[in-house]
Structure 1
Amino acid sequence: MTYIEKGTKEYRKASLSLFLGGFVTFAILYTTQPLMPIFAKEFHVSASRASISLSVSTGVLAIVMLIVAGLSDAIGKKRIMSLSLFFTSILGLLTSLSPNFMTLLIFRSLLGIFIAGVPAIAMAYVAEEFNPKGIGQIMGLYISGTSFGGMAGRIITGVLTDLFSWRIALMTIGGISLILSLVFWLTLPASRHFVKKTLDWETAWAAYKAHLSNKRIIALIMLSFLLMGSFVTLYNYIGFLLHDPPYRLSETMIGFIFIVYLCGTFSSIYMGKKADKYGRSIILKISITIMVGGAILTLVPSLIGIIIGISIFTFGFFASHSIACAWVGDCAVNNKAQASSLYLLFYYLGSSLVGSFVGHFWTQFHWIGVISLISVLLVCGYPLVLFAQKGEQISTQYNIKIKKGL
């Protein structure tokens, strides 16, 4: 079977495309996150309700990805991802014109539908088209694009909101994304291993059912819920913390704090390589530990301490996510798109449900309540990694026996 091999022109083009796909998706998806305090004031809503501007997108995205995976088998992965990026960019532009909070939520809901094409399919594209020996690194590159996009989107939003308005900020990001979507379509290699299938929902649901009987996949998708729920929670409410005394930071200053996403851009690639070398389970457990340490450090009543804590937390998250999602692709022998969609279903449900639910912890217990819940969620991730590791060992032993004819 011919794969896209490292060092080739096709590999470089595919790497650039996947990076841009992750960049556009997350730049637009998370533009409302640093704007939540502004939405709360301008539209006269609570912090918990303002967070719905993000949660509604990730919630819809989580559900639609289950459908998109089936469509990709009939239409093609490149076509689905290209269309997804184009319509996502258009909706990013339309969101800037929202006259009220309800209209904004409607546009953000529609965004959740169309944005699903890239995250649902990119992981499956990587698992099918690239040499399995280097999947950790290329998945890390895609994840680095998501982290860089999330960072750039937030920084641009913060600066342009201070200089002009949040509407100009969203319009600018939508325009940039439209251009990058065209580059993605022109540079991503067509799928070599794509076999067109008739759209058969019964078969698609059967594939989901089969994956849900795989205990390793179940452990990893539950882990994705905990990881993303913790990550989005911290970033949802850090803006409220830094807007309040004694920090009183402007939108520009809060936006630039998201530059710590560069830690994720680095860690997703670096720790992905380490996982390929030393094993996924040990590096994943180390990465979760890093997240816990970073979260606790943000309790230090110092702006420098908070920034360092966020940086460490972000490093650990993107490392954990890149390893876990690559692991899911490896666990699925067939129907990798459906396995990726299940992982991301729980991933974005974590973002949507935990991200909004913690608003009550912020209201009642302030920042210490937010960090306490994040720490509990992450500690619950350790047994899931151990479970996935045990399942991998059993599977490896079974395959060895099969090869020996035992």
Structure 2
Amino acid sequence: MLPRTPTSTTSARRPSAPSSIAPLALPGTRAYQRVSVAFFLVGFASFSLIYCAQPLLTQFTVAYHVSPTQSALALSVTTGLLAFAILLMSAVADRFTRRSVLFTSMVGAALLTVAVSLAPTWPLVLLARAAVGLVLGGVPAVAMAALAEVIDSRALGRAMGVYVGGTAFGGMIGRVGVGAMMEVTSWRVALAVLAGTCLLAAVGFRWLLPATPRADRRTETRLGDHVRIWWQHLSFELLQPLFVLGFLNLGVFVAVFNYLGFRLTVTPYHLSHAQMSLLFAAYLFGVVASPLSGAVADRFGRAKVVIFGVLTSLLGLLMTLAAPLTAVVLGVILMTCGFFVTHAVVSGWVGLVAPSHRGHASALYLLAYYLGSSIVGLSGGLFWSAGGWSAVAGYVGVLLLLALRFAVLARRPRSAEPF
């Protein structure tokens, strides 16, 4: 009896099967349109499920008898675990096809949001919201790489813009839509409807997107190598102020929206949940400001535009201290524009400054970015409890001044040794 030929040898000699991977999509083709819609759905579903808790914070204080600071945990645990999940998924995602990672993340987060809508106790709400952050880590970790696998490089920038537009639209709808639905039904039903919509988006994504290839296992990076690369980026002084700016920028933005609702739903404003949620429509101004800031940064320099973005946020914050509702709304719009301008420029700046392994640098930026949302968004509640909106604004103002300092540091040329 002859010995069996090893499987690896047999498969190596066997002619490869025809590839089921679709060719790269070109602009103007039906394939390009399908891919663009698919990634818009990814952005919409993921960001609406992350931020749908924000307009519910005042409802959580009533339903579960928790403080404003405790209610903010519903968002902070999601973004905090999302930050670490992005790092984890960026290290292991190559073991799977990117389409399966994105689809699983969308479905898992939608089902967990249904669980939030049914949760009878506050600890169960926090557990489900934490799990949402964990499963959604696959989206920002692989979305850009997945696009590059199915879109021709000549159209990649345009397709990326569609994905980013989906994230902005999802972040807005997750807040405005849920708030509007609470005018006609309960917050539990509103969450369940949003989750059902995102499940449909996941099915649409799976149907629209062609098969994506599994990464070549021979090119995988070992965990120890990932850690070494991350540490090199953290030690690189040109990247350090950019990571801090990401932390402070989103942290300030989330803290303002977390606690402004507690101010505007009581005397003298008495805004309804639907009226309060309309404040999140200020995102539309930010969506316009983002691409404009990139063009201006190319002409006048990134540091100058970042400083302008931070100063715009600071001016908006000062306006929210005024009593007239119109001034508060204008302040929120300015803060939103300042946030988007700063984020658009800094996130792109990270990729330019990193001398190598830009994906790892971007993952660290996102880690700092979402940790800022979690930590600053939660700690703002301590200031709200101590002194109301004035105390929150003072806290946020100090952080914006700190961000201004780091923007100036990023502007200064330094003799950092690239690794």
| TM value normalised by structure 2 | 0.84
Q: Note the alpha carbon deviations across 1:200-226, whole angstroms, 9 max, x for none.
A: 211211221222222222221111110
In the TM superposition, residue 126 of structure 1 has moved relative to its aligned partner by 6.8
SS in 1 for 2:245: helix
Q: Which residue of 1 aligns with 2:241?
A: 219
Q: Which residue of 1 aligns with 2:409?
A: 387
Q: Which residue of 2 aligns with 1:210?
A: 232
Q: Does residue 91 of the first structure (1) align with residue 105 of the second (2)?
A: no
SS in 2 for 1:170: helix
SS in 1 for 2:239: helix
Q: 1: CA distance between counterparts of 2:273 and 2:28?
A: 43
Percent identical residues: 33
In the TM superposition, residue 199 of structure 1 has moved relative to its aligned partner by 5.8
Q: Which residue of 1 aligns with 2:96?
A: 75
Q: 2: CA distance between counterparts of 1:366 and 1:168?
A: 31
Q: Note the alpha carbon deviations across 1:310-354, whole angstroms, 9 max, x for none.
A: 111111111211221122223334433322221111111111111
Match of 2:313 among 291, 303, 306: 291
Give, as a single letter, the amino acid of the residue that structure 2 aligns with 1:326.
G
Query: Equivalent residues in 2 for 1:263-282 (5 A)?
Result: 263-282=285-304
Q: Does residue 100 of the first structure (1) align with residue 152 of the second (2)?
A: no
Match of 1:303 among 307, 321, 325: 325
Q: 2: CA distance between counterparts of 1:258 and 1:344?
A: 22
Q: Which residue of 2 aligns with 1:172?
A: 193
Distance 1:165 1:344, change over 3 A: same
Match of 1:40 among 53, 61, 64: 61
SS in 2 for 1:99: coil
Give, as a single letter, the amino acid of the residue that structure 2 aligns with 1:230.
V
Distance 1:80 1:187, change over 3 A: same
In the TM superposition, residue 188 of structure 1 has moved relative to its aligned partner by 5.0
In the TM superposition, residue 132 of structure 1 has moved relative to its aligned partner by 9.3
Asked if the contact 2:95–2:215 (Cα under 8 Å) also holds between the matched residues in 1, the reply is no
Give, as a single letter, the amino acid of the residue that structure 1 aligns with 2:199.
L
The alignment of Structure 1 onto Structure 2 pairs a total of residues equal to 394
Q: Which moved more, 1:70-79 or 1:30-39?
A: 70-79
In the TM superposition, residue 148 of structure 1 has moved relative to its aligned partner by 1.8
Match of 2:350 among 325, 328, 331: 328
Give, as a single letter, the amino acid of the residue that structure 2 aligns with 1:309.
G
Q: 1: CA distance between counterparts of 2:256 and 2:72?
A: 12
Give, as a single letter, the amino acid of the residue that structure 2 aligns with 1:165.
S
Q: 1: CA distance between counterparts of 2:156 and 2:351?
A: 9
Taking only aligned residues, the RMSD between alpha carbons, in angstroms, comes to 3.0
Query: Equivalent residues in 2 for 1:2-401 (5 A)?
Result: 7=27, 9=29, 14-122=35-143, 141-188=162-209, 195-196=216-217, 197-198=219-220, 200-391=222-413
SS in 2 for 1:88: helix
Give, as a single letter, the amino acid of the residue that structure 1 aligns with 2:343.
H
Larger Rg computed on CA atoms: 2
Asked if the contact 2:27–2:155 (Cα under 8 Å) also holds between the matched residues in 1, the reply is no
Q: Which moved more, 1:297-306 or 1:373-382?
A: 373-382
